[in-house]
Structure 1
């Protein structure tokens, strides 16, 4: 039982190491704004607002770190302190999104080439893996009818 727990912990630790690499690829398309974290999610072209606003700023403004984008808009206006536009110049440039209560927020993947698309494991793998050079002997070892155990030993030997 202990080895299973250790393996799970090891796996999660390694997944968490990828956070910074993955973060720049995950974007949100706003629908109703009720699922997207206002401070920590990437929902605008400038990046997460937590890159600009500290938890102390939120506390002083009586805003919560758990706010969603929809919580920051009241009657078509931002509901943060007006002085934030001087303190954080990027806030002057932030356009108020048009939220639609009938449309859910969507998480999308920004591929390495900058194209935004639906999340696909294949694309995530291609964007995150380290691409080495193709070697001329790879087709000798890796082919459709290969026996994985034999291929692995051969690959180590070469």
Structure 2
């Protein structure tokens, strides 16, 4: 998918999967939380990753900076590192002078390492990141009805959608018919003593849904 290109600037292909498309659409949010510790620089993009004290260089100084440095947009940081030290060509612009003047602030590490700056540990956690980004609201009274230890995730999610009124009309009709069909079958057992088979209950539910749609 990336083929050596920077994750932050790769274009979304027309034939990529739904999952990849969603990830690439969110990279603008994610990049603000990611910095890099420098080891050998082989896994860090020189111009498009956040490793420099000034931030992402191509965003701060523009694409002209790549031309002025006689480099390429996809160059890695190791192209300006020799023997554990930064080794740049002589600066040809004020921007390059500024970039090089701050290199002394950088501390080299044993290996390249991405740092997730949201948390002090620097480690990434999907649940903690979601909790950090989401809009927090008051706890609803019905949460324990949906999310409990032995809940089946698929069913819990469907119930959550129902309570949030996010289902399509057809889905709402189906769920209300199912609930009504089960409730009616229970009452007939309790009050009349005439239990229905599972197939009979299912046929009644299907008939109920078709009748409501047709009506």
**TM, length-normalised to structure 1:** 0.71
Return the TM-score normalized by structure 2. Answer: 0.55
Q: Which runs of 5+ in 1 are unaligned?
A: 1-5
Corresponding residue for 2:91?
A: 82
Whether the aligned pair in 1 keeps the contact of 2:69 and 2:96 (CA below 8 Å) is no
Deviations 1:19-62 (A, max 9, x none): 11111111111122222111111113321111133333322431
Q: Does 1:146 align with 2:146?
A: no
Q: Deviations 1:52-85 (Å, cap 9, x if unpaired)?
A: 333333224312223322322468555144343x
Deviates more, 1:134-143 or 1:86-95: 86-95
**Residue 122 of structure 1, aligned match among 113, 127, 137:** 127
For 1:98 and 1:157, the matched residues in 2 are separated by 52
Q: Give the paired residue count.
A: 148
Higher helix share: 2
2:138 counterpart SS class:
coil
Q: Structure 2: state its 5+ residue gaps.
A: 1-13, 165-215
Partner of residue 107, structure 1: 114
* Alpha carbons 1:39, 1:65 under 8 Å: kept: yes
In the TM superposition, what are the counterparts of 1:18-97 in structure 2 within 5 Å? Answer: 18-73=26-81, 76=85, 78-84=87-93, 86-87=94-95, 90-91=98-99, 94-96=102-104, 97=106
Q: Is the 8 A contact 1:52 1:88 kept in 2?
A: no
Q: Could you tell me whether the CA contact under 8 Å between 1:108 and 1:118 is conserved in 2?
A: yes
Distance apart, 1:138 and its partner CA: 1.0
SS at match of 1:52: helix
For structure 1, which segment, 145-154 or 64-73, has the greater mean C-alpha deviation from structure 2 after superposition? Answer: 145-154
Q: Which has the higher contact order (CA 8 A, sep 6+)?
A: 1
* Structure with max Cα Rg: 2
